[in-house]
Amino acid sequence: MFQYRTGQIKTFFRQWQLQSMVIPGIIWMFIFCYIPMFWLIIAFMDFSIAKPMLQSPFVGLKHFQDFITDDRFWRSIRNTLGMSSIKLLLGFPIPIFFALMLNEIRTIRFKRTVQTISYLPHFIAWTIFGGIMLNWLGEGGVINQLMMALGLQDREILFNSDAKYFWWITYFSDTLKETGWSAIIYIAAIAGIDPGLYEAAELDGANRWQRMWHITIQSIRPTIAILFILAVSGILGSNFEQIFMLKNNMNMKMAESLDLYIYNMGLVSGRHSFSTAVLFVRSIVALGLLFLANYTSKKLTGDSIF
């Protein structure tokens, strides 16, 4: 046992070059990942950024009690779940549908061009894309012009100043920006299906819809399952860059997601300990959801994320 260890230590020093590659990475992880984890303990303190670390008094669960009785916290939970659910229920099938339809295009050049164009918006910054959305949704904007031309509304609506539209704005702008990109993985899964299956089905007289349903959908089902489970486990998250760009004082009561609440309380109002208490609970719940997702995925499809 001892011999084995000294052997390992010797090898460790003999491979100092390899070790000197890895150890800076480990140090980086300690500084930028583990120290912040450790500093979650300020959730139990009355932390002040001006004082040296760990000299702030411990206050137990005070901050936890505070946020649980804060209506604005529950509002942010409602907003997060609301936006996530819309994206999940109405947004999740769209890239699958797009991939299926794209797969039916027989002209390869056209298919490739559509695909390449479709994921361009993914690479446009949210500042730009959000700026476009704000312009479109505003006075005299494209959306108002369109709705009035179609006779769907008789006067201009300032969509972004009215909180009740906010969830839908996040849903539509996200769909517009990300559909093509999210479809890539389905397109790849479809490309991997054995063409022989289609030929056999065609000989058996299956029509287009039957082939789509019984072959394409059935073959990419594991991919769909895994992505769906991942999406469910991320339900407490929100697209911060998007919301931060589209929010304003008038729509805040529907726009403030959990992430934004943590930001507003912690960095705008300077309540570091309070916000960290929310973060603490959020991190634990998120971890639980991830394990649950992994477990479910293993049970259902045999595939797991880790």
Binding to another protein, residues 221-260 (CB under 8 A): 240-241, 244-246, 248, 259
Q: Are 189 and 102 in contact (CB under 8 A)?
A: no
| Beta carbon of residue 245, minimum distance to another protein (angstroms, whole number) | 6
Phi, psi of 255 (to 5 degrees): -95, -25
Site residues (CB under 8 A) for another protein, limited to 267-286: 267, 272, 275-276, 279, 282-283
Site residues (CB under 8 A) for another protein, limited to 171-200: 176, 179-181, 184-185, 188
Q: Are 272 and 266 in contact (CB under 8 A)?
A: yes
Contacts (Cβ under 8 Å, ≥6 apart) of 175: 91, 94
Site residues (CB under 8 A) for another protein, limited to 96-135: 98, 101-102, 104-106, 110, 113-114, 116-121, 123-132, 134-135
Mapped onto helix, strand or coil, the DSSP state of residue 49 is: coil
25 binds another protein (CB under 8 A): yes
212 binds another protein (CB under 8 A): no
Q: Are 305 and 294 in contact (CB under 8 A)?
A: yes
Distance CA 298, CA 228 (A): 13
Distance CA 179, CA 172 (A): 10
Of the two residues 87 and 282, which places its CB atom closer to another protein in the complex? 282
Site residues (CB under 8 A) for another protein, limited to 41-80: 42, 47, 49, 53
| Beta carbon of residue 54, minimum distance to another protein (angstroms, whole number) | 12
| Beta carbon of residue 23, minimum distance to another protein (angstroms, whole number) | 8
- Mark the segment that binds another protein (CB under 8 A) among 75-83, 137-145, 151-159, 163-171: 137-145
Instruction: Supply the Cα-derived Rg of the chain in whole angstroms.
Output: 25
